[in-house]
Amino acid sequence: MTDSTAGGDVRLTGISKTYGSFTAVHPLELTVPQGSFFALLGASGCGKTTTLRMIAGLEEPTTGTVFLGDKDVTDLPPYKRPVNTVFQSYALFPHLDVTENIAFGLRRRGIKSVKKQVDDMLELVQLGDFARRKPHQLSGGQQQRVAVARALINHPQVLLLDEPLGALDLKLRRQMQLELKRIQTEVGITFVHVTHDQEEAMTMADTVAVMNGGRVEQLGAPAELYENPRTTFVANFLGTSNLIEAEVVEAGGEDLVVSAGGAKLRLPGGRCSAPTAGGGKLLVGVRPEKISLAHRDDEDTIAAGRNRVTGRILDSSFIGVSTQYLIDSPAGKGLSVYEQNIERDSRLVPGAEVVLHWNPAHTFGLDADQAID
């Protein structure tokens, strides 16, 4: 293993993988900046593990090149790459205690004095009190930490994590997400993390690549992906989206004006990934928590310049942090609205005639011709 300070970005150029006639990963251009926490996010079967395994050297690409820094490592076997992998199964040695598991990589390289490095790792993953326990005497989260420490002790340039939290219950999973983020920040090594859990990717990663059908559909910071999705898949995979069918009325200005169910809506031109020629169809998106509700009788109180559509409450449910409404509107059936901080008595009841209104800046436009997954 080389030292992590040798560094460099992970670059995949034209990387693809086919199995017989099936393409698991279509030719891919992807750069993972050195020192970043990068997530490959997507549903089961989208090609994220295959991509990770091609970085590790566990899978041979059908086409393309894997660079680590300036070095082409495409033909290097896994053990010659400055990369280590943590699997969901942890793969700890059951007969070795925590210390010996963590020291394993160093011992295999013939290094005798390992105490200082192992102690540093035990401290990093906060397992100092468990050093002499065997894996079966540890919780899932603790085993996970041992697996991470064991993978980091050789100072890899890149740590690959393949659904490493998949076996943990939700509470522990959330705890470990923060823990892994802390560890990554502390060691400064590039982490590439595979997950199907959007919340996990968004909690941990600086950059998320959303994969669908063997392709990266969109890549960006979590907030950017959430607030400005460029495809219906990304809009639906990351949280809940209201997607309203609309038609372009006015294009060319800073804002785009569209009509939906008789209402005129505005959205920033820069947040529209659909063709914007007049009369063209598109889907207008807005997140449920960006929408406010007013009684139809109080419509005059809504500030000018906000997007607004009429609707009728179908259903409401109080879920602690917010009240979630399901609303039918001429602009779209089954729109979702999440409102926070409303008193129990002022909740709107099914049948209430309302106006949904929101800041046009929170509106995005998507290509209506894409299939909605």
* Binding region for ligand ATP (CB under 6 A): 19, 22, 24, 42, 44-50, 196
Query: What stretch of H or E contains 148?
Result: helix 140-152
Least Å distance between CB 19 and ligand ATP?
3
Instruction: Categorise residue 341: left if φ over 0, alpha if ψ from -120 to 50, beta otherwise.
Output: left
Query: With b meaning 16 or more CB within 10 Å and e meaning fewer, what string describes 323-353?
Result: bbbbbebebbeebbbbbeeeeeeebbeeebe
Least Å distance between CB 17 and ligand ATP?
8
- Indicate the residue among 41 and 366 with the shorter CB distance to ligand ATP: 41
- Indicate the residue among 42 and 135 with the shorter CB distance to ligand ATP: 42
Least Å distance between CB 85 and ligand ATP?
13
Give SS3 for 112: coil
- Output the six-digit token pair for 41: 């996010």
Looking only at the bridges linking them, the beta strands covering 63-68 and 255-260 are unpaired
CA distance 173 to 164: 9
- Indicate the residue among 111 and 170 with the shorter CB distance to ligand ATP: 170
Q: Which residues pair with 7 in a beta bridge?
A: none
Least Å distance between CB 218 and ligand ATP?
16
The structure tokens 């804002």 sit at: 255
Least Å distance between CB 172 and ligand ATP?
20
- Indicate the residue among 41 and 122 with the shorter CB distance to ligand ATP: 41
Least Å distance between CB 58 and ligand ATP?
11
**Which residue of the chain is nearest ligand ATP when measured via CB?**
49
CA distance 204 to 182: 9
Burial of residue 186 (CB within 10 Å: 0-12, 13-18, 19+) is exposed
- Indicate the residue among 24 and 208 with the shorter CB distance to ligand ATP: 24
Least Å distance between CB 165 and ligand ATP?
13
Q: What are phi and psi of 251, to 5 degrees?
A: -125, 170
Least Å distance between CB 197 and ligand ATP?
10
- Indicate the residue among 162 and 255 with the shorter CB distance to ligand ATP: 162
- Indicate the residue among 195 and 241 with the shorter CB distance to ligand ATP: 195
- Indicate the residue among 52 and 263 with the shorter CB distance to ligand ATP: 52
Least Å distance between CB 163 and ligand ATP?
7
CA distance 74 to 68: 9
CA distance 261 to 247: 10
Q: What are phi and psi of 224, to 5 degrees?
A: -65, -45
- Output the six-digit token pair for 277: 């020629």
Query: Cβ contacts of residue 217 below 8 Å, gap of 6+?
Result: 210, 211, 230, 231, 233, 234
- Indicate the residue among 42 and 229 with the shorter CB distance to ligand ATP: 42
CA distance 289 to 310: 17
